Homo-oligomer: A and B are copies of this chain.
Amino acid sequence: MEFTYLQKTPLYNAFSELGKRIFLPDGIFYWAGRAKKEAEIIGTIGSAFGYEKDFVDGGSSDWMPCYLTEISEYFNVSIQDVVPYVSIGGLNETREIWKDWVLKKSQLDEIKEKDLIEKLEKQITTPIITAGVTNGIFQCSSLFLNPGEFIIAPNKRWGNYDNIIKKYIGAKIKSFTFFNEQNIDLESLELAINEVVSVQEKIIIILNFPNNPTGYVPSKEEGKEIVLLLQRQQRKHNKPIVVIVDDAYEPYVYSSDSINRSIFYDLLQLEEDIIPIKLDGVTKELLMYGGRIGFITLGLKSKWVDNDQELELLKKEIENKLEGFTRATISNCNHFYQALTQKLFKEKGIDKILASRTKVKELLRERYEMINAELAKIDDPNISIDPNSGGFFLFLNLNPKKIKANEFGDHLLRKYKVGIIPMEKLDEQINGIRIAYCSIDLSKIPELIKRIKLALNDF
């Protein structure tokens, strides 16, 4: 593939050496594709096929992928949904369904805002399927970051970002202080951008709302400010800003003051070279942690090309890059959970899925409200709670001069039999505990807070 259109975009300039190098070669796929259309005898397919009756007692005369008959009783879908390879980028129908889902999650009105939806539909790529959201983060980080280069992330972030970016890729994280009191610290973000822009030709940022570990979701006002800040910075520096939007916890927002959709959509609508990449997945959204199915959706700018046709060609080129990445790391993603996702949407429908999920979300909302209310009652100058209105967690800061987080975690566990995750990274101004209320029943929250209070009193 030539990457005629991709090479002219700021996206390409932002790629790492690996991102520039990787692609999916035609070879086998070209010939297999042609054989499917043109051949009577096909000897291109690298999976064993046979007439079912020839390898299963009492099997049919259908030409099938050979499978072990013993597996059948463990699922209620067709063998064809479990045994064969899926294509490298994922099942086409699942990808199309997820694209519609991404558009639906924009919260736009399908009738009144039809034109805008159509515009966005053109601007986003058809999602490529990844092995979970982590794999999407890994893939995007690798596509953009050379060893030694910077990505900007809040100081309070999922610890696995550090594994991926620092340990695996050998790149660096420029942290910004996430909060100033009860608000996002935009000055610190701006400072980080200014520092990075002085040493490299691209800005790569990763944002995650609702955030792990804090549960922070921007207020509607903050959401606007973040977008304006990025817009201002892009205009000022005239370098591409790639925003990796880690939407793992997207639907779990409990306050109507918070933004009611991913920041992806507002960034997508900007004319500037601010390139949002949406990472989401079935993991939390459809509550299938063990499914390992995620999606990468890029937001493109129409101005990069001359017309809609070129935009489609550009999308094909990007798809080839991402498929080249998948091919070289995992070949393709598992079949069953992709098929399951498809069936949920096609056979059950969005309304049923949402009704089912709302029950879970309401459970979490009740816990969220109670745990915040209970914590607010603790009158202790050595603690503070980070702003939180979504996700699975909240974060309780401890005054590092009085209480070290690891010590506190140990004490809480030994004396009060309460398990939480302490986080102590003093050089990043982090000293506190992450409480996963997603896995604590409402009835236990008062007791949990009581014990935390007792432990605090011991210090």
| A residues at B contact (CB < 8 Å) | 17-18, 21-25, 27-28, 31-32, 34-36, 38-51, 54-56, 63, 65-71, 73-77, 82-86, 131-132, 134-135, 138, 159-160, 163-164, 167-168, 170, 212, 284, 286-292, 324-325, 327-337, 340, 343-344, 348, 352-353, 356-357, 359-360, 363-364, 392-393, 409, 413-414, 417-423, 435-441, 444, 447-448, 451
**A409 contacts which of B17, B31, B337 (Cβ < 8 Å)?**
B31
A421 near B70 (CB under 8 angstroms)? no
**A413 contacts which of B35, B134, B448 (Cβ < 8 Å)?**
B35
For the complex, give the distance between the alpha carbons of A36 and B423 in Å. 18
**A28 contacts which of B23, B50, B421 (Cβ < 8 Å)?**
B421
Q: A42-B419, A441-B51 are in contact. Are A288 and B83 (CB under 8 A)?
A: yes
- Nearest residue, chain B, Cβ from A76: B74
For A413, the chain B residues whose CB sits under 8 A away are 31, 34-35, 38-39
For A73, the chain B residues whose CB sits under 8 A away are 76
B337 near A334 (CB under 8 angstroms)? yes
B330 near A330 (CB under 8 angstroms)? yes
Q: Offer 30 A-B interface pairs, CB within 8 angstroms, sorted by A.
A: A17-B170, A21-B167, A24-B163, A25-B163, A27-B159, A27-B421, A31-B409, A31-B420, A35-B413, A35-B420, A38-B413, A38-B419, A41-B448, A43-B440, A45-B438, A54-B363, A55-B359, A56-B359, A67-B288, A70-B352, A74-B343, A82-B291, A83-B289, A85-B290, A131-B330, A134-B327, A135-B330, A138-B329, A289-B335, A292-B333
B68 near A356 (CB under 8 angstroms)? yes
For A421, the chain B residues whose CB sits under 8 A away are 27-28, 31-32, 44
- Please give the distance in Å from A67's CB to the nearest CB on chain B: 5
A439 near B288 (CB under 8 angstroms)? no
- Please give the distance in Å from A384's CB to the nearest CB on chain B: 18
- Nearest residue, chain B, Cβ from A359: B55
**A43 contacts which of B25, B70, B420 (Cβ < 8 Å)?**
B420
For A17, the chain B residues whose CB sits under 8 A away are 170
- Nearest residue, chain B, Cβ from A418: B41
For the complex, give the distance between the alpha carbons of A363 and B59 in Å. 15
B66 near A324 (CB under 8 angstroms)? no
For A51, the chain B residues whose CB sits under 8 A away are 441
For the complex of A and B, list the 8 residue pairs with the smallest distance between their C-beta atoms, beginning with the closest: A35-B419, A290-B335, A39-B419, A134-B331, A40-B417, A45-B439, A168-B328, A49-B439
